[in-house]
Structure 1
């Protein structure tokens, strides 16, 4: 396998990110993918989609109230839920994420035990069966009182001022921005499904690497179907699920360009928070649906399967027609079977009675007389037949 630079930031539907080697193996099996959009030339199949997303981001910058109602509590609850869904489950890892992107607000009198107790209260899970959204709201309020994101960061804007996110992403997608990026499509058209199983198990449909957003193109149709079926499900109706997926990767692209050392998991959580501002958790549901039937067998696999089935049928037929097992009168039975497509037996020809052979009666005028042949032999006519005789000598 060829050497590739590591640093894949993927959209994935599991708690753990995909192994980069899984993505590289799928790329190796496919060969050369297609460029769906090039930001330098502003050309490609997805050029219209990118231009529309840019215009919507510009509108979000100018008129945020037209997109959706969004409070600080909404933003904090969404970010907190993303941490719970994606980050490791141990409290130390979750607290470390909060420390990297914000500050805790303790009272001066709080000692180590008081601080620990307050942090634990944020992640405290109730043993009682209660409404998940209600519990999440309580936890978000606790988090607001105890922690806040670093000011003037992308996370701060997602939580508190989505209009500023629109401004930053519109600037990145603007046709006047000469910083290159591409959207690369992976149809995996001639790739064997067995080579894509690991990618499917990781539930990866997009990833960003080296200023290029890579997309499993088959997912688009499923996302568009969900847009129709889930119309009015919430979020920003101005954006489709494909838009949300692409913007998730644009956010990861922006974060890496802003801080090349940013942790991949941290960037994924922040991008997921903005994705859920756009469409809630609907993208996760749609992607789950997509992987119910993906990958499909390649054309070569289908041909191989058909050939194998044909060979099995031929073997079964040959075994059935084995001479040792066939009945003795099989040929006679086959002769009587109709061979025409309409299944009608041919009519038998009527038998025509043959005229009786004329009986040759002996010539009575020669009966009993003696005759002599040219070579001197003698014979007599007896019942119409020549009977050789010896003539008596005198």
Structure 2
């Protein structure tokens, strides 16, 4: 049996007791129900870009989703074009499709690795966009009841890098449905300062979709966050830690140069809050800033370890060759300890950890 490391971007993980690789929706549904009826341990694996698997492997059934397909549906009353996308469709292939067809709403999510079915689970986001803003519903099979139904985006509890599907609702995403704007090949308003700077425009500007996608891909590549066989810094799960959300009062005790952004109660960025609401306000901190200012430098590694901090971005942990999941956990815990000691903040891992302690 091949090690699961072969199917993950971090290249760690031992073999599974059983590996299933359905390629059609019917095969996917049948495989899931058979595994659940058996009562054993199970795991769904998409693109393998947001998971750290134990070196000992997985003592159960792994369903590796390989279904593909993008179907363009009717335009709704608001003029948005709906797409139905199979869970195994690579996410960036979907973004490329949308850009090529002049559909706006996910262009800033270019270059994110992984599968389309996994995107709502994590509520993926980058450069001022989240899938939450475009998601209509998911075709979902509940592992407890065996029922298959379309769950609306409102039912998923989408928040900053999480959802009910990540927080404990067990099951499998068969397909997703998105609603995107037909905007004469212009992007949604640019909502992230770094992206606006790279494009040389003000926030709120709308540019050709292809230009925005190219700028996002370039930014991701500069941080080692774009899968590239020629870039050793891309052998990672992307951002390893989420940006902490803390109370405004706690944030005021940090150094004045520590980046912070006001957020609303659901965790979304909200720059409209004023000082009058500060008593109830939460703010998002920069995990990368906290790591760097705790003394962890780019390229840092523990003695003898083959797992290191990316040489391009301190928020990524990379496998320099032959590294193990145990080494990943060791480095992640060390980083957490340094940040906790220096700033009193506990960093939370972003990837799903299977048999790995962080």
What TM-score results when the alignment is normalised by the length of structure 1? Answer: 0.19
Structure with the greater alpha carbon radius of gyration: 1
Q: Which has the higher strand share?
A: 2
What TM-score results when the alignment is normalised by the length of structure 2? Answer: 0.21
Q: Which has the higher helix share?
A: 1
Query: Which structure would you say has the larger RCO, counting Cα contacts within 8 Å and 6 or more residues apart?
Result: 1
